[in-house]
């Protein structure tokens, strides 16, 4: 009963703001984009600049933790000035709610491209794509930050341009755990702040892209096989994925991975 009441209360306090409402007299809500684990995200019109921007609000039910994470996200994004990372414009409180305003990235996520648009990435295309992504991640690591949430819904593609979004879980390398975490937030505690975490995620990212061309044969009885058997890809690419996924000794850093990738791409 208590758990049910908690659920009802959280749904009520997390209820998104309506379209048309204006945040701090400047950001008019055009569309609710979604509710993540720690935040509510809106597409807004900045009435001062006439530009579309993204407003992320700390999720009220997460209390201080949600606010701390959003503040940390804004601090980290402010340190990462790169054409493939959304700019953080400002953050502020309004009526005890914390908001962060960032650049709106046009385009489609890789998840949408594969699962909604039916995009297919051949081996070479997938590797070239991963090369671009590695360049962004290398920049982030050079700034002593680890993203920790590199997944196909967090990469947006617009023409030939790619952007990495959602720095909500990003952390500084070697950062001591400063945030008190309750039972619901176990996930964060288990993540290790090390560059290999991002490389591991890129291994999975690459597998998603490569599986976009995979067709299982329905004639035979369904047999569960691993990716190494199922995917028709070169031995070199398989070796790279094994290192990314830490099946074999992992790359020490992004540079080592890029160097090997370049030998595969020639
Ligand atoms: N800067 C941005 N530009 C364009 N779209 C964005 C931007 N930031 C977030 N989005 C989109 O808004 C939606 C909600 O994003 P948000 O990061 O709040 O939650 P999530 O990704 O659904 O969950 P979680 O943060 O728990 O992974 C997603 O569809 C995401 O693609």
Contact predicate 11/26, CB 8 Å: no
Work out which ligand 1 atom sits closest to the CA atom of 86: 1
For helices 235-244 and 195-211, the axis angle rounded to 10 degrees is 140
Q: Hey, which CATH number is domain 108-265, 1.20.120.80, 1.20.1260.10, 1.10.510.10, 1.10.1040.10? A: 1.10.510.10
Could you read off the pLDDT of 169-205 as tens digits, one per residue? 899 887 754 444 555 554 445 455 788 899 999 999 9
Cβ(83) – ligand 1 distance below 6 Å = no
Distance 224 CA to ligand 1 centre (A): 33
User: Percent of the chain, pLDDT > 70?
Assistant: 90
Q: Which has more pLDDT, 117 or 11?
A: 117
> What ipTM was predicted for this assembly?
0.94
Cα–ligand 1 centroid distance for 75 (angstroms): 18
* pLDDT score for 9: 85
Ligand 1 pocket residue status of 109, Cβ below 6 Å? yes
Region 89-115: mean pLDDT is 96
Average pLDDT over residues 40-69: 95
Q: Where are the domains of the chain?
A: 11-103, 108-265
Rounded distance from Cα 93 to ligand 1 centre (Å): 20
Find out whether the beta carbon of 34 lies less than 6 Å from any atom of ligand 1: yes
Annotation-wise, does 56 bind a ligand? Answer: yes
Query: For residue 103, which atom of ligand 1 is closest to its CA?
Result: 1
SS3 60: helix
- Residue 219 pLDDT: 58
Q: How far is CA 96 from CA 12, 64, 142, 261, in A?
A: 16, 11, 35, 48
- Check for a shared fold between 11-103 and 108-265: no
pLDDT in tens, 19-48: 999 999 999 999 999 998 889 999 999 999
Ligand 1 atom 27: the closest Cα is on which residue?
Answer: 36
Contact yes or no for 242/200 (Cβ under 8 A): no
Which value, to the nearest 10 degrees, does the dihedral of the CA atoms of residues 245, 112, 14, 87 take? 80
Residue-wise burial string across 101-128, b where 16 or more C-beta atoms lie within 10 A, e elsewhere: bbbbbeeebbeebbeeeebebebeebbe
Q: What's domain 11-103's architecture?
A: 2-Layer Sandwich (3.30)
What atom in ligand 1 is closest to the CA of residue 153? 31
Are 123 and 237 in contact by the 8 Å Cβ rule? The answer is yes
The pTM assigned to this predicted structure is 0.90
Summarize the confidence of residues 142-171 as an average pLDDT. 95
- Residues contacting 193, CB < 8 A, separation 6+: 146, 148, 171, 172, 173, 174, 175
State residue 236 phi and psi, 5-degree precision: -60, -45
Which pLDDT score is estimated for 180?
Answer: 47
């Amino acid at each position: 009963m208590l758990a049910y009441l908690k659920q009802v209360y959280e749904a009520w306090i997390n209820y998104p703001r309506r379209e048309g409402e204006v945040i701090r007299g400047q950001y008019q809500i055009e569309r609710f984009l979604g509710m993540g684990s720690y935040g509510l995200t809106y597409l807004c019109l900045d009435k001062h600049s006439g530009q579309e921007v993204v407003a992320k609000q700390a999720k009220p039910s997460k209390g201080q933790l949600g606010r701390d994470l959003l503040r940390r996200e804004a601090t980290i994004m402010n340190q990462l000035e790169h054409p493939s990372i959304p700019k953080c414009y400002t953050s502020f409180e309004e009526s005890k709610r914390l908001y962060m305003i960032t650049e709106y990235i046009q385009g489609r996520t890789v998840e949408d491209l594969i699962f909604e648009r039916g995009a297919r990435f051949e081996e070479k295309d997938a590797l070239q794509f991963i090369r671009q992504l590695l360049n962004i991640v290398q920049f982030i690591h050079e700034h002593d930050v680890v993203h920790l949430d590199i997944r196909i819904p967090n990469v947006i593609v617009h023409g030939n341009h790619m952007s990495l979004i959602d720095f909500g879980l990003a952390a500084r390398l070697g950062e001591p755990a400063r945030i008190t975490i309750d039972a619901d937030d176990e996930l964060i505690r288990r993540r290790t702040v090390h560059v290999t975490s991002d490389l591991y995620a890129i291994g999975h990212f690459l597998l998603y892209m490569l599986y976009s061309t995979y067709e299982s044969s329905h004639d035979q009885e369904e047999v569960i096989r691993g990716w190494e058997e199922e995917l028709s890809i070169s031995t070199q690419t398989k070796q790279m994925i094994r290192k990314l996924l830490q099946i074999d000794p992992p790359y020490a850093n992004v540079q080592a991975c890029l160097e090997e990738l370049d030998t595969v791409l020639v």
